[in-house]
């Protein structure tokens, strides 16, 4: 069985959180699709193919496809990932189709991963109070609504949250373990040659 992941991206998405997650999942044999979420004032939706997403550090990333609520449903994917980056996270978390899908994925027993400011999507999607983490910059917006934690990665049922660029590897490897098992996590992590004592 080949697992499938949908990774959202927008202008202002944090590059490391996107690329490290995408790359790590692919190494585990998970089929990944990146989907561009356009901002309300973005005219790129008139294009046939998605434009480059300009990341939070100015690096251009070419998404696989435009985000389509009809094509992003949980019967087609096992995992939905929302990276951070302040501007990108704002665009993605404020999208009502994304909010609807976050709830649907969780209701149908599929995984949802959120990193950094991407965790704001838990708030905008009106998820129930549960353990969660995020980048410190958005902690104040989340702490009263969730059981906030400073752990690098927090797993709450099918919701997996993480803190920022520096926690992207443990976040991605946790997703690999949840989908594919501990042995696959080790198989993916070992050739990456993490320093002794780190999170792999």
Residues with active-site annotation = 17, 116, 135
Across the chain, the runs of DSSP E, i.e. the strands, are 4-9, 31-36, 53-54, 60-61, 65-66, 79-82, 111-115, 131-132, 147-148, 153-156, 159-162
Integer Cα distance of 120 and 48 in angstroms: 30
Give the CA dihedral 70, 181, 114, 165, nearest 10 degrees. -130
């Amino acid at each position: 069985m080949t697992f499938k992941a949908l990774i959202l991206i927008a202008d202002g998405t944090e590059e490391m959180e996107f690329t490290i997650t995408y790359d790590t999942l692919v190494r585990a044999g998970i089929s990944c699709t990146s989907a561009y979420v356009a901002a309300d004032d973005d005219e790129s939706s008139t294009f046939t193919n998605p434009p480059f997403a300009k990341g939070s550090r100015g690096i251009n990333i070419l998404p696989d496809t435009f985000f389509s609520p009809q094509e992003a449903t949980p019967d087609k994917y096992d995992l939905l990932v929302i990276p951070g980056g302040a501007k990108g996270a704002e665009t993605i978390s404020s999208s009502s189709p994304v909010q609807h899908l976050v709830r649907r994925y969780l209701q149908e027993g599929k995984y949802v991963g959120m990193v950094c400011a991407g965790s704001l999507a838990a708030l905008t999607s009106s998820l129930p109070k549960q353990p969660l983490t995020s980048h410190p910059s958005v902690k104040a917006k989340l702490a009263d609504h969730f059981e906030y934690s400073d752990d690098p990665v927090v797993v709450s049922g099918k919701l997996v949250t993480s803190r920022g660029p520096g926690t992207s590897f443990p976040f991605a490897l946790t997703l690999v373990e949840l989908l594919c098992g501990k042995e696959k996590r080790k198989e993916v992590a070992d050739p990456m040659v993490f320093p002794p004592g780190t999170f792999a």
